[in-house]
Amino acid sequence: MIGSYFTDEFRQPRATHIFFKGLVLYTLVKIVLAWQISAAMVANHNLPAPGSWAGKILLLPTMLAGINVHAFYFAAMTLLVLAFLLKPYYVTRLLFFYLTFNLYVINLPIANGSDIVLFMLSFWSIPMGRFPSITIQRKTDFQKMIFNLGLVLCQLQIVNVYLVSGLDKLFSETWRSGESLAYITHLDFYYNPVLPEMFENDSINFILSWCTILFELLFVALVWTKRARLPILATGVLFNLFIWIVLSIPDFALLMIISFLIFLKDEDYDKLKKRIRP
């Protein structure tokens, strides 16, 4: 029965924890790299100051950042280091989500899509904790169910990003004709001409444009299949590296590459270990 998928066992406990560590590390790097500009921006920007107690509790870190942004970032780094080192405790994951949400609020004027995706992935990481154990009638069925539910919802979150993006491109004449790539080469703040003549040929633009549409739509279906899962993830890594270098969107591309870790299985890590140390 399909329902037993959710209650039989914790699905991919090691892989999900590695995924969580990936998110933590990503946040840590992003804070270090954007610390200076964030501090300059916060110095001139009115952060939200909620009146209600619920709002105050929810945005307590934001309020701390408003008083002393450097103290806030030091505290955030400490939490991230702990979250990286500790076992999958619910409380560290909850605090990680709390932090990513507040980071989004603090840096709202300089936020982009990657910040929303980050706090949603950290939200789905909360049920993927395993400690302390939750038992009902000395059984952990309920804990397994919320763990596996969190895992599937997290995977669907990433699949939705590609589904929406693929459909948007499929219904756009500019993308279907390949003209989109000619436009991209004229984006003053995104395009990095590492391969200067790459997008000058209309036929190549047409092919590359359709490769993008097909990848995004096929990802939605193929990432669930046994045989195509790893090849489509590998293609996804290349696709995002291309976005990182040519389109200069490093944070979004890196986050999407890290997000692919949630589709790996514990056996994949075992195989990798055997390959490295036969």
Partner 1 sequence: MNNHPPGLSFKKNLGIAACVLILIHILISVLVIVLPPRIVHANFLTSTYRSLMVVGPFFYESRIKSSSHLDIKLYTNERWSSVNETRIENFTKYKRMPWRYDLLRKNDFEEYAAYHIRSLRKKDFENVKRSKVFRELNQFIIGQHGDSNVDSVWLCHFIKVYLPQSDSFRYDTIFAYTYSPHEIGPAKR
Using CB under 8 A, list all residues that contact partner 1: 1-7, 30, 33-38, 40-41, 43-46, 107, 109-113, 116-117, 120, 136-137, 139, 141-142, 145, 148-149, 152-153, 156-157, 160-161, 163-165, 167-169, 172, 174-175, 179-180, 182-184, 186-189, 192, 247-248, 250-252
Distance CA 129, CA 97 (A): 12
Three-class DSSP category at 216? helix
Quick one: tokens of 32?
């270090």
- CB 121 → partner 1: shortest distance, Å? 11
- CB 174 → partner 1: shortest distance, Å? 5
Nearer of residues 86 and 221 to partner 1, judged by Cβ:
221
- CB 34 → partner 1: shortest distance, Å? 5
Nearer of residues 29 and 207 to partner 1, judged by Cβ:
29
- CB 234 → partner 1: shortest distance, Å? 22
Nearer of residues 22 and 127 to partner 1, judged by Cβ:
127
Nearer of residues 174 and 225 to partner 1, judged by Cβ:
174
- CB 52 → partner 1: shortest distance, Å? 19
- CB 2 → partner 1: shortest distance, Å? 6
Nearer of residues 138 and 227 to partner 1, judged by Cβ:
138
Q: Which residue has the tokens 């590998």?
A: 234
Q: At what angle do helices 13-44 and 113-125 cross, to 10 degrees?
A: 140
- CB 137 → partner 1: shortest distance, Å? 6
Contacts of 108 (CB under 8 A, 6+ apart): none
Give the residue from 266, 241, 263 showing the smallest Cα distance to 252.
Answer: 241
Count of residues making up the chain: 278
Give the end-to-end CA distance of the chain in Å, rounded to a whole number.
37
Backbone angles phi, psi at 188, to 5 degrees: -60, -30
- Is the distance from CB of 269 to CB of 33 less than 8 angstroms? no
Distance CA 149, CA 147 (A): 5
Backbone angles phi, psi at 131, to 5 degrees: -130, 140
Quick one: tokens of 173?
């004449």
* Bond preceding residue 193 cis, omega within 30 of 0: no
